Amino acid sequence: MPAVNTPSPTVVPTRLAADRLVHLRASGVSVLLDLRGGLLPSIVHWGADLGGIGADEAIALAVAGVAPQANNTVDEPLRLAILPEQRTGWLGRPGLSGSRDGRAWSPWFRTTELAATATAGADALASTTTIADDAFTTIDGGGSIRVAATDPEAQLDLVVTIELSAAGVLRASAALTNRGDTYRLEELSLALPVPARAGEVLDFAGRWSKERTPQRRPLTVGTHLREGRRGRTGADAALLLTVGEPGFGFASGEVWGLHVGFSGNHRHYAERSTGGEQVIGGGELFLPGEIALSTDQSYETPWVYGVYGIGLDDQAQRLHRHLRARPQHPSSPRPVTLNVWEAVYFDHDLDRLLALAETAAAIGVERFVLDDGWFRHRRNDRAGLGDWYVDDDVWPDGLTPLIDRVRALGMEFGLWFEPEMVNLDSDLARAHPEWVMQTGGRLPLPSRHQQVLNLGIPEAYAYIRDRMTDILTANDIAYIKWDHNRDLVDAGTAPGGEPGVHVQTLATYRLMDELKERFPDLEIESCSSGGARVDLGVIERTDRVWVSDCNDPLERQQMQRWTQQLLPPELLGAHVASGRSHTTRRVHDLGFRAATAFFGHFGIEWDLTKATPAELDELAAWIELYRSRRSLLHTGDLVRMDQVDPTLWVSGVVAADRSAALFSLVYVARSDTESAGRITLRGLDPERRYVVRPLTIGNPAHGYHVPPWFGVGDRAGGAQLGSDGVTPRSLVIAAGNEPEGIVLSGRALATAGVQAPQSYPEQSWLIEVTAI
């Protein structure tokens, strides 16, 4: 069953009467839960902080939220629990669907136990007050409750866990246990209520090499349903389904978002009933017959995350703080990474790779990753997957000569694996054809010339685990690029063909966990045809994701902009590729490519031995800049300006103490006007004064006309003066002419702003802001 990762509590859970209201508060967010009457938890309020309310006000809020009785509805007010129940008259999606041969399909759960826990730094059970037969508990600073419930008639037990992290991120899970004969579970999803003023939906679509494409629509009566049936998260996944006040942006409008933290089949939905109730919900999606619970067997959902914010930036910042607070979150500086795929593909020539390593080390690269092609029979993508032995024909002395030289040059060494896949043209498939996922007595249609290796079969799992363990033991490997290059179609277990996506997903998690346990310093990147496995389930076990197989910086600007709605920049692999993109054939300046990769986990995907000396010098300068600023980039708060000119995207990272910031001005297209006008830079301390100046690397003169505030004066290579004889009419920065900038308060930058430079499209400026 899906693993649920709960934080280690600092106090023993406190047993409470299971008939009360509970108020969870943290970081400006409140979750008020109603468990009165021995019923499943119902969320009275999830959103902005309610303050230090007492029992009287909590009960009054619960009463105030009861809708009037409408004609032709059930004769009791609808009570919507976090697991929506059909028995209450709820006619939307039920939280639980299943039956025992047509029985027990509409259970009535009554709570039997409630335990509350305060997390680290929280005020444990700050107040408990009894009013009549009701009780009220507040937990400040983050905490959780665990509710046990049962339906003796249906012979089902349920445990619901609800947490609010210190960052204000809500998450919940449910575990169902069958106490009778076999129970066939069709769906177990959780739902979070959102207010009627949340009338617009934002989620994401996409495809290979163009992941995370935003899409908006009104939330109307009915269900906006997003199902992922790919056996992996998918390039077209909803990612974070958000509903909010119509027109919400990065800085304004209340928003409520939901994410299912699972890497297999899943669903997200937003639903509005004719009665006016609105929910966002989701969970794992089961294939037919996939979950059949025998007596005393349980199924546990993945975590369902709920994130409230004032604007999308507030929402993203909460998620980033939540993730950064995890004990396993990467804490060391994110090393500059060279991945060799677009440099050599399957041509693994030692001398060529050594030359590439020498060049990389000379410009400051800190991690060297050998991609696909190092193992037996792997001269192209049609053979070899599953044969995880170093190819003796290509590497007669093993990987040692390359690894030793990489390490001697001061770099870490990384290696590519695709553990969940197999080519039929492989020793493994010939020896164990029954290990290939299949159903209906037939093999699935091939995709990328490969099939899926069934890790749900213990022997197949042990084989892959042992092969990877042997490679990692025999070689000094700090990093795995873990790929997953096809959807799971007809993914069954031979010989009967029973569906196996659920088990396959959990086996993959177990394999990652086991390797991490055996090799504590190992880092793993989640790559899946690029960015098709980006979710909070896999990120519990990995240290970064590969955003996309497309390194075209124009495409990457959008993909990185929206992947950051879920994950912070330090978890996003972002690489500088060759001048001509391998996926779009566009040509871009090195400055635009590097400035795009700068706002992620910076790396390179380029045959550096073919770069000119000038390109290497400029790339080395970018690496030096990244290394000097990555502490800010990977700990600060993400801010994105709501667009005035849609051709200019302004975003950045602001230090937690508001002492510094880095902003990016990206010209994604040609504007209809000569100038984009003033841009604002928010997120800074309004009372502090800052030096604001552009950062220039190389010679960005071509196509730029800069405003006077840059402070380059008459040094700007013959700039013409205006009619007053003082103000430059058009400033073009020349090489070696560094801008001095201007001094403004944080309030002035957020409200009045500064003029943007003029530029050709598909170019970028970096703006550095430093407190005086």
DSSP for 414-443?
EEEE-TTEE-SSSHHHHH-GGGB--BTTBP
Reported confidence tier of residue 248, pLDDT bands at 50, 70, 90: very high
Which is more confident, 128 or 424?
424
Annotated binding-site members? 208, 371-372, 448, 481-485, 527, 549
Indicate whether 489 pLDDT > 80.
Answer: yes
Indicate whether 734 pLDDT > 90.
Answer: no
Residues 552 and 693 placed together within one structural domain of the fold: no
Helix or strand holding residue 57 (H, E): helix 55-64
Residues 60 and 90 placed together within one structural domain of the fold: yes
Beta-bridge partners for 481:
416, 525
Task: Give a yes or no: residue 433 inside a domain.
Answer: no
Contacts of 704 (CB under 8 A, 6+ apart): 732, 733, 757, 758, 759, 763, 765
Indicate whether 7 pLDDT > 90.
Answer: no
Beta-bridge partners for 126:
none
Residue 722: its pLDDT value, please? Answer: 40
Helix or strand holding residue 21 (H, E): strand 20-26
Q: In this predicted model, what pLDDT tens digit does every residue of 191-224 receive, in sequence order?
A: 999 999 999 999 999 999 999 999 999 999 999 9
Annotated binding-site members for substrate? 208, 371-372, 448, 481-485, 527, 549
Residue 674: its pLDDT value, please? Answer: 79
Reported confidence tier of residue 739, pLDDT bands at 50, 70, 90: confident
By CB atoms closer than 10 A (0-12, 13-18, 19+), residue 116 is buried
Reported confidence tier of residue 703, pLDDT bands at 50, 70, 90: low
Residues 477 and 563 placed together within one structural domain of the fold: yes
What CATH code is carried by the domain that includes residue 403? Answer: 3.20.20.70
By DSSP bridging, strand 479-482 and strand 523-526 are parallel
Ranges 521-535, 676-690, 721-735: which has the least confidence:
721-735
Task: Give a yes or no: residue 451 inside a domain.
Answer: no
Residues 271 and 353 placed together within one structural domain of the fold: no
Indicate whether 692 pLDDT > 60.
Answer: yes
Mean pLDDT computed over 583-603: 97
By CB atoms closer than 10 A (0-12, 13-18, 19+), residue 64 is exposed
**CA nearest to 161, candidates 301, 9, 21:** 301
Task: Give a yes or no: residue 206 inside a domain.
Answer: yes
Give catalytic residue positions: 483, 549
Residue 132: its pLDDT value, please? Answer: 35
Among 324, 349, 379, where does a domain finish?
Answer: 324
Helix or strand holding residue 407 (H, E): helix 400-408
Angle at 252 between CA 532 and CA 227, to 5 degrees: 30
Q: Show the domain range for 150.
A: 14-324
Among 324, 345, 369, where does a domain finish?
Answer: 324
Mean pLDDT computed over 631-645: 95
Residues 689 and 611 placed together within one structural domain of the fold: no
Mean pLDDT computed over 319-329: 98
Q: How far apart are CA 717 and CA 238, in angstroms?
A: 50
Residues 600 and 662 placed together within one structural domain of the fold: no
Q: How far apart are CA 746 and CA 680, in angstroms?
A: 10
Could you tell me if 270 and 201 are in contact, meaning their C-beta atoms sit under 8 angstroms apart? yes
Residues 320 and 368 placed together within one structural domain of the fold: no
Reported confidence tier of residue 254, pLDDT bands at 50, 70, 90: very high
What CATH code is carried by the domain that includes residue 199? Answer: 2.70.98.60
Residue 8: its pLDDT value, please? Answer: 41
Task: Give a yes or no: residue 529 inside a domain.
Answer: yes
3-state secondary structure of 624: helix
Residue 712: its pLDDT value, please? Answer: 64
Could you tell me if 281 and 189 are in contact, meaning their C-beta atoms sit under 8 angstroms apart? yes
Ranges 22-31, 32-41, 122-131, 619-628: which has the least confidence:
122-131
Residues 188 and 61 placed together within one structural domain of the fold: yes
Indicate whether 285 pLDDT > 60.
Answer: yes
Residues 318 and 268 placed together within one structural domain of the fold: yes
Task: Give a yes or no: residue 514 inside a domain.
Answer: no
Residues 765 and 664 placed together within one structural domain of the fold: yes
Q: Give buried/exposed letters for 337-363 (b at 16+ CB in 10 A, else e).
A: bbbbbbbbeeebeeeebeebbebbbeb
Residue 636 φ/ψ, nearest 5 degrees: -80, 180
What CATH code is carried by the domain that includes residue 743? Answer: 2.60.40.1180
Average pLDDT, the chain: 92
Could you tell me if 204 and 239 are in contact, meaning their C-beta atoms sit under 8 angstroms apart? yes
Residues 572 and 646 placed together within one structural domain of the fold: no
Give the amino acid at 455.
Answer: L
Q: How far apart are CA 139 and CA 24, in angstroms?
A: 5
By CB atoms closer than 10 A (0-12, 13-18, 19+), residue 580 is exposed
> Which ranges constitute the DSSP H helices of 454-565?
458-474, 501-518, 553-563
Residue 675: its pLDDT value, please? Answer: 81
Indicate whether 365 pLDDT > 70.
Answer: yes
Beta-bridge partners for 280:
192, 270
Task: Give a yes or no: residue 508 inside a domain.
Answer: no
Q: In this predicted model, what pLDDT tens digit does every residue of 546-584 receive, in sequence order?
A: 999 999 999 999 999 999 999 999 999 999 999 999 999
Task: Give a yes or no: residue 734 inside a domain.
Answer: yes
**CA nearest to 82, candidates 136, 133, 8, 31:** 31
Q: In this predicted model, what pLDDT tens digit does every residue of 432-441 receive, in sequence order?
A: 999 999 999 9
| pTM, entire model | 0.94
Among 607, 636, 665, where does a domain finish?
Answer: 636
Domain count, the chain: 3
Reported confidence tier of residue 676, pLDDT bands at 50, 70, 90: confident
Could you tell me if 338 and 360 are in contact, meaning their C-beta atoms sit under 8 angstroms apart? yes
Indicate whether 714 pLDDT > 80.
Answer: no
Could you tell me if 280 and 258 are in contact, meaning their C-beta atoms sit under 8 angstroms apart? yes
Indicate whether 137 pLDDT > 50.
Answer: yes
Task: Give a yes or no: residue 478 inside a domain.
Answer: yes
Residues 573 and 551 placed together within one structural domain of the fold: yes
Reported confidence tier of residue 737, pLDDT bands at 50, 70, 90: low
Residue 719: its pLDDT value, please? Answer: 38
Question: For residue 656, what are its two tokens?
Answer: 């937690």
